[in-house]
Amino acid sequence: MASKKAAALAAVPDGVPFDQWIEREGCSRSSAYKWAGELGIKPTQEPDPGDPRKRRAWISGEQAEQLSAYAKQRKGRRIGEAIAATRGALATVPPPGWVSSAEPADTADREDDGDREALEVLGLRLQALRDAVELGVPLSTHEVRLLLGARPGGDRVTRAGIEARREARGLWRLSKASERRERW
């Protein structure tokens, strides 16, 4: 019976303590929790292996990888662009042990890659916007801000032919704006 208790106490959650990830990345605690929220990551409270009476915030290895990629993509970008770039970067990560036979790219190719990446991010944002309009799913204010590029202020906001209508507090629906225009 005592060995079962010792085994249960010695169990370590899979992943990384969130405070260790924050220290490793060299970011502030508030930024780390903000980024985690933007990615939909919620650290779990697990017993601390050093002191089982205390609880500690943990993230999985995959979540740590997502946050690290997001921290790199976040510099100088809007939230939606960074999220799309992070998801795109994680989707294109080669499997372990994969070796590229390609020659190193020169500076012009790197600039083209940056332009290509910007277009991919734009494509992802437009696709998400189209899906939101077609499906008519309710969105949070944060999600509407990501898609439209601006925080909606009134009950109805139109931007670039897309209308956001407030349905309830923090609940919005997107639709195509009416094509009615008055001519003089």
The residue extents of the domains of the chain are 8-92, 125-178
Residues 6+ apart with CB under 8 A from 153: none
pLDDT of residue 37 exceeding 70, the answer is yes
Q: How far apart are CA 18 and CA 177, in angstroms?
A: 43
Average pLDDT score over the chain: 75
Q: What average pLDDT does range 137-145 have in this prediction?
A: 84
What CATH number does the domain located at 8-92 have?
1.10.1660
pLDDT of residue 182 exceeding 50, the answer is no
**Local confidence band at 101 (pLDDT 50, 70, 90 cut-offs):** very low
Q: In which element (H, E) is residue 182 found?
A: none
- The confidence score (pLDDT) of residue 119 equals 85
Report the SS3 class of residue 149.
coil
- The confidence score (pLDDT) of residue 184 equals 41
Nearest to 72 by CA among 108, 35, 19, 103: 35
Q: What average pLDDT does range 95-111 have in this prediction?
A: 51
- The confidence score (pLDDT) of residue 5 equals 52
In this prediction the pTM is 0.41
pLDDT of residue 94 exceeding 50, the answer is no
- The confidence score (pLDDT) of residue 72 equals 81
Q: What average pLDDT does range 156-168 have in this prediction?
A: 86
Report the SS3 class of residue 78.
coil
- The confidence score (pLDDT) of residue 129 equals 83
**Looking at this protein, which amino acid is placed at residue 144?**
V
Q: In which element (H, E) is residue 111 found?
A: helix 107-135
**Local confidence band at 1 (pLDDT 50, 70, 90 cut-offs):** low
- The confidence score (pLDDT) of residue 25 equals 85
**Local confidence band at 115 (pLDDT 50, 70, 90 cut-offs):** confident
Report the SS3 class of residue 13.
coil
Angle made by CA atoms 80, 162, 117, in degrees to the nearest 5: 30
Count the neighbouring beta carbons within 10 Å of the beta carbon of residue 119.
10
| Angle, helix 61-74 to helix 29-39, in steps of 10 degrees | 110
Count each helix (H run) and each strand (E run) in the chain, helices first.
7, 6
Report the SS3 class of residue 138.
coil
**Local confidence band at 16 (pLDDT 50, 70, 90 cut-offs):** confident
pLDDT of residue 36 exceeding 80, the answer is yes
